[in-house]
Chains A and B, each alone.
Chain A
Amino acid sequence: MQDREETHEAWSAARTAEIVVEHRGTEGPLLPILQAIQRRFGCVPESAVPVIAEALNLSRAEVHGVVTFYHDFKSAPPGRRVLKLCRAEACQAAGGEALAARAEASLGVASGGTTADRRVTLEPVYCLGLCATAPSAMLDGRVVGRLDQERLDTLITEARR
């Protein structure tokens, strides 16, 4: 539930191997490993795949398949701040699509993109479970509901800072 920007390390094979070892005792360790890697490096880079595969005795294809299946895992680090706007039905009903368009225009990126200065990544999310206070957003780990133009603009200003 990090509220502010996360700081990420540059990827290292040794550190990746350490993370794998830390999780080796758990049942079905691959997702927890990938999540730990992404927390540390901001993404799961292609170069991490063979390291994980070898340690878990899986094929590279198997690990690659898992990494690419899940929306959460990114191949490159995101911008300094990640702004997620909910695009699911409850937020659509409350005017969320117009706000998403406003955010895209204001940041100058399409949903899923990162601003040229790498300060903000704008992402769609399909439900934050805040559907009674829609439309909603999440800036890094902080949730924001009852979004309107003014609250969105404040959020974007904060994200850009």
Chain B
Amino acid sequence: MKRFFHSELEAFRSTLVLMGERAIEIVRLATQALIEGRIELCEEALQQDDAIDQLELRIDNEGLRYISLRAPVATELRLVAIGMKAGQNLERVGDEACTIAKRTRELLSEIPPRSLHHIPRMAELTIEMLRDAIGCLVDEDSEKARLLPNRDNEVDALHRENYRQLSAILAREPENVASHLHLIFISKSLERIADHATNLAEEAIFLYRGEDLRHAPEIKAASSGTLKQSPPPL
């Protein structure tokens, strides 16, 4: 029996989807700015961040209200709990995208880099992961969600390679340290966005199957082929 307050849950889910779309868009704008050398896209990306922050507040308020007034259980409770966590993840994605946009703006204002190394490929993979993770939440596809940790490994590997290459260049060309540091941080931000996408996928699995796979052996096994190693110090 559909109750009169179930429309509030649908509105909550819609807000989450909207926030997901906004997060994908801000990452796309920020990375496109870097790849195509278009500084105006940096500004466009930065303007999106406030809206993402407001959506996080709305999700938290709506979630808290629903828990307090409607006493949800089972799937409804998991949706609200996961939704609030997903909102935090997506807000962090927005912040990381802002970091990319700001550093890109700096880069393009100074001397544009000769090479972006593996950053374009990282951006492509990360945006795909984000899109798929949000899709898992919307489409109730927990099976697709299980595959995301493997793809995160690929992003991690690309970040480590970026770090290795850029560290070597820094050693040879100390006069361009600022430019190469920007690229290292941008690579790191993309790696963090991919981590957030993986978190969203784990949350989708918990939502639709009730399984909490955080720190689960199968997730660790999927990650163990290429451990998340800290890059060596400069």
A and B pair up: no
A residues in contact (CB < 8 Å) with B: none
> What is B's interface to A at a CB cutoff of 8 Å?
none
